[in-house]
Each structure stands twice: as C-alpha cells, then as structure tokens.
Amino acid sequence: MKKNLTRRHLLQSGALLAAGAAVSRSASAAAPSEETGKPCPIQLGIATYTFRNFTRDRMIAFLKDLRISQINAKDVKDHLPTDPQQEEEALKDYSAAGIKLHAAGAIYFRKDEDEDIRAKFEYCKRAGIGVIVAGDPTPETLPRVEKFVKEYDIRIAIHNHGPEDPVWPSPLDILKLVNKYDPRIGCCIDVGHTARAGTDVVEAIHAAGPRLFNMHIKDLADFKSKERGNTFYN
C-alpha cells in the first residue's frame, strides 16, 4: 500500500465516484468551488465523535467556526440521544443552527433480533437520517438488517475498523459480502483504519463505487496507532 497518499489524490478519487453515486443522494448541493464555479460533488462534514469530549452546544459553536453544516451524528455526550424526547431537543438545536444530519453512527448491531434492529432504524427515521454507519453487524445479521433497509429506505454503510477487527478490517472485506444484498447496503470507508489494514485507500474507493455512502477521514500521525488521528466524513 502506498503510504504517501495525499489528501488531493484521495479527494479527487472520491469525487469521481460521488458525482454519480449514492453518496450525493441525501446530501444537499455543495457550494460552488472558488476555482471552477461549479458545485463540488464532495459533501464535507464532521463526525460528531470527533467532539466526543464536548457537549452539543460547544460542538455547534465549533461547527460554526469551521463553517461546517453537515454532520455524522453519534449518541455520545448529548449529540444525538436515542431517547425520543432528548433526540427531538437535539434536532431542534441543529435545525436552529442550520446543521443537517447526513448520517448516524457508528451504530452497533449486537443482536440479530427484529426489535433491537427496528429501534435503531426508528432512531434514524425520527432524525430524517438516510445513512446508518454500522459498526459491527455480523455476516449472519445482514439478511435481517436488509429487511429493515428495504422497509425504511435507509442505507447501511458498514464501517471497517482495521486489523483488530476480525470481520471487517478493510472495505474490501465488506464488499466481498454485501454485493449480494440490496444496493442500499454498502461501505463507510474509514481511511485511517483502511491504511492500517494494508489496503490501498484509493483502490478501495474505486472498488466500492456506488456502494460508498460515507467516508471517515483521519490524519494519522502513526500508521500503527488507531488512536492518533481526527475523524471527519465526506
């Protein structure tokens, strides 16, 4: 794997896919590029796990400073609680700040049970979220998850977690299994974990094609450490 991967190379590769793929289906039109005057196909946002040590109001202030208006929300601190009433309060705060929720997660599917899986889809439906970043569905769980994908029309983006993950270390491992399922089941490519797994990130992006729904992008200070990086998504 090439370890001299540049941001420009990565984003250019992602843009080629995002222009025609499902990545853009739920995202609003991007602001015109200062260089070309044309809308950029990449929707850049923040995974709220990046601000896991900060409350929602502090995080919203940071997002305003960064001029970021889209998030991949997670049930951490008070960012997007699973309790319906608390979730509604969070959604009001985001709406007032002009922040849109592109995805939720990572959300973990630890039970192969309808009731447990439905609760997670309902959580995202209430928030108007179109992509669930799934942290750990087992291959055995995917047929049941697919049933809810079809019912709710919410996409599942399975997140790879690097060499420590016995099931999904690389996006290529995800693609081997999801291609036989509904096209709304695909990948959330975590760039840092993909690099640590020894997979060429750009090749993985091209391999995922229209099943690439979300990306988590890290600036890794150390390719051997999963902790030394910040998480974003596009």
Q: What is the pLDDT of residues 116-174, one digit of tens each?
A: 999 999 999 999 999 999 998 999 999 999 999 999 999 999 999 999 999 999 999 99
Q: Is pLDDT larger for residue 13 or for residue 162? A: 162
Asked whether residue 21 is domain-assigned, the answer is: no
Asked whether residue 12 is domain-assigned, the answer is: no
Asked whether residue 105 is domain-assigned, the answer is: yes
Asked whether residue 188 is domain-assigned, the answer is: yes
Asked if residue 210 lies in contact with residue 22, where contact means CB atoms within 8 angstroms, the answer is yes
Q: 180 lies in which domain range?
A: 43-233
Asked whether residue 101 is domain-assigned, the answer is: yes
176 pLDDT more than 60: yes
Domains identified in the chain, total number: 1
- Provide the CATH number for the domain around residue 118: 3.20.20.150
Asked whether residue 180 is domain-assigned, the answer is: yes
What's the pLDDT band for 234 if we cut at 50, 70, 90?
very low
What burial letters (b/e) apply to 151-177, b meaning 16+ CB within 10 Å? ebebbbbbbbbbeebeebbbbbbbbee
Asked whether residue 54 is domain-assigned, the answer is: yes
> Which residues have C-beta within 8 Å of that of residue 73, sequence separation ≥ 6?
48, 79, 80, 90, 101, 103, 104, 127, 129
The model's pLDDT over 198-212, given as tens digits with 9 standing for 90+, comes to: 999 999 999 999 999
- The DSSP H or E segment spanning 72 is strand 70-73
Asked whether residue 19 is domain-assigned, the answer is: no
pTM (two decimals): 0.81
The β-bridge partners of 231 are: 218
What's the pLDDT band for 17 if we cut at 50, 70, 90?
very low
